């Protein structure tokens, strides 16, 4: 698919328009950021790994009946997706206490949660993506109530399906962030699913296999991304 204008460039991806108004090309970058952009760096070949991993996850979720923006993989770093009007809401689903939740609730990192936690954040870099709830969303007009319900339903389904997919591959799904958008009025899962947006821990050793290795200067960042890609592709016959 031919790329035309550059529509948007963010921290981890570049989005290009195509001759078809309904379709976009997403190009994955090697750049990495943390702490709302305060920490910046590069993870060698991260764009390749995240493009391939996101494709695997999107295809799996489509097979389970969830609709996503994914159309097909174009090359190592690019995928073709449906154009979405992104809802300014980030959804975080948590199964184990880690990161900001552990700090907010005074829990030791790694503490299993008695039930799944779903959090909503206002997608606004200037404000630091603050935590919000359905009342804020309605008051500010970020989304319609039925859209929020659908986003929450899909996010919990993603949690269930990804957990089932990753468990036999020796990976615990600790938490993850999702973004959704509207395509001809339908709520679709967008953005990406990768170690940039998920916390993946080795089921046996609890070793971190995600961007926390970059955030916390743990080393072995590229190797962790490679390991996740190897597990999810080898177990499914590769790509």
pTM (predicted TM-score): 0.94
Q: Rounded to the nearest 5°, which phi and psi values hold at 173?
A: -90, 100
Summarised one tens digit per residue, pLDDT across range 68-90 is: 999 999 999 999 999 999 999 99
**Distance from the Cα of residue 209 to its chain's centroid:** 14
What the block records as the tokens of 144 is 């319609």
The residues near 63 (Cβ < 8 Å, ≥ 6 apart) are none
Using 50, 70 and 90 to split pLDDT, how confident is the model at 239? very low
The residues near 103 (Cβ < 8 Å, ≥ 6 apart) are none
Summarised one tens digit per residue, pLDDT across range 99-112 is: 999 999 999 999 99
Please give the domain boundaries of the chain with CATH numbers for all domains: 6-82 (3.30.200.20), 85-220 (3.30.470.20)
């Amino acid at each position: 698919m031919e790329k035309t204008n550059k529509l948007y460039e963010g921290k981890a991806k570049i989005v290009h328009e195509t001759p078809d108004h309904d379709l976009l090309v997403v190009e994955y970058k090697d750049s990495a950021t943390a702490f709302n952009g305060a920490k910046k760096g590069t993870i060698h070949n991260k764009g390749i790994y995240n493009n391939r991993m996101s494709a695997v996850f999107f295809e799996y979720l489509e097979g389970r009946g969830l609709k996503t923006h994914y159309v097909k993989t174009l090359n190592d770093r690019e995928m073709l997706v449906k154009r979405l009007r992104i809802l300014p809401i980030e959804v975080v689903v948590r199964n184990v206490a880690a990161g900001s939740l552990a700090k907010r609730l005074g829990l030791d990192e790694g503490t299993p949660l008695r039930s799944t936690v779903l959090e909503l954040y206002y997608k606004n870099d200037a404000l630091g993506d603050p935590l919000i709830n359905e009342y804020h969303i309605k008051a500010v007009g970020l989304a319609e109530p039925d859209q929020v319900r659908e986003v929450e339903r899909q996010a919990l389904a993603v949690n269930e399906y990804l957990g089932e997919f990753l468990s036999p591959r020796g990976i615990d799904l600790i938490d993850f962030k999702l973004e959704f958008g509207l395509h001809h009025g339908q709520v679709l899962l967008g953005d990406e699913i990768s170690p940039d947006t998920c916390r993946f821990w080795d089921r046996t050793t609890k070793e971190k296999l995600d961007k926390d290795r970059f955030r916390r200067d743990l080393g072995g960042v590229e190797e962790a991304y490679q390991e996740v890609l190897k597990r999810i592709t080898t177990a499914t016959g590769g790509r």
